[in-house]
Amino acid sequence: MRSIIDYLKEIVFGLWSLLKGMKVTGSYFFRPGTIVTQKYPSNRKDLVMFDRFKGEVMPHNEKNEHKCTGCGICEINCPNGTIEVISKSVITGDGKKKRAIDIHIYRLGMCTFCALCVKTCPSNALAFSQEFEHAVFNRALLIKTLNKPGSQLMKGVE
């Protein structure tokens, strides 16, 4: 049977463990000027994500041009079928047939952000953006077409 001394010892030990656990939290709480958390979403307009953040993929320039040739290498290299590249044949200015991107499908809900597609794209057509607000009520909205409507292949990309 436990004595009253053992009982009191356990209480003291419990309190000491609690204080030890709260040491880091407490040091931030009482350190003036230290930012511990960010007030999201009230800081949404000014929020800058860190450089390594991985959001969505395939940038376009201000002329609505991208660098995707429709080669399909990203689809082959994606380990979980997140990407589907549908290509088409186009006739170039000199009358030759050439493969071009028709639809570049990206299933954001399946993406693990492993970056294999970005690293292996021979045209550097893919890059991670800073977009981070991906929450939707309908899962179908996470299936995206990366090439924007009316976009063209950037000049000089073969």
**Which of 76/136 has CB closer to ligand SF4?**
76
User: Which CB atom, from 19 or from 103, has the smaller least distance to ligand SF4?
Assistant: 103
Q: Smallest distance from the beta carbon of 113 to ligand SF4, in angstroms?
A: 5
Query: What is the smallest separation between the CB atom of 64 and ligand SF4, expressed in angstroms?
Result: 16
Nearer to ligand SF4, 17 or 124 (CB): 124
Instruction: Estimate the crossing angle of helix 4-21 against helix 23-30, to 10 degrees.
Output: 50
Q: Nearer Cβ to ligand SF4, position 121 or 151?
A: 121
Minimum CB separation of residue 58 from ligand SF4 in Å reads 7
Contact in structure between 107 and 32 (CB atoms under 8 Å)? no
Longest dimension (CA), the chain: 96
Question: Locate tokens 């009316």: which residue?
Answer: 150
Contact indicator for 58, 126 with CB cutoff of 8 Å = yes
Q: b/e string for 27-41 if b means 16 or more Cβ within 10 A?
A: eeeeeeeeeeeeeee
AA letter at 151: S
By C-beta, is 47 or 55 nearer to ligand SF4?
Answer: 55
Tell me which residue has tokens 């350190």: 31
Residue 115 CB, nearest distance to ligand SF4 (Å)? Answer: 5
The least distance separating ligand SF4 from the CB of residue 33, rounded to whole angstroms, comes to: 38
Rounded CA gap, 118 and 156, in Å?
20
- Under the rule (CB under 6 A), what is the footprint of ligand SF4? 68-74, 78, 80, 82-83, 85, 111-117, 121, 123, 125-126
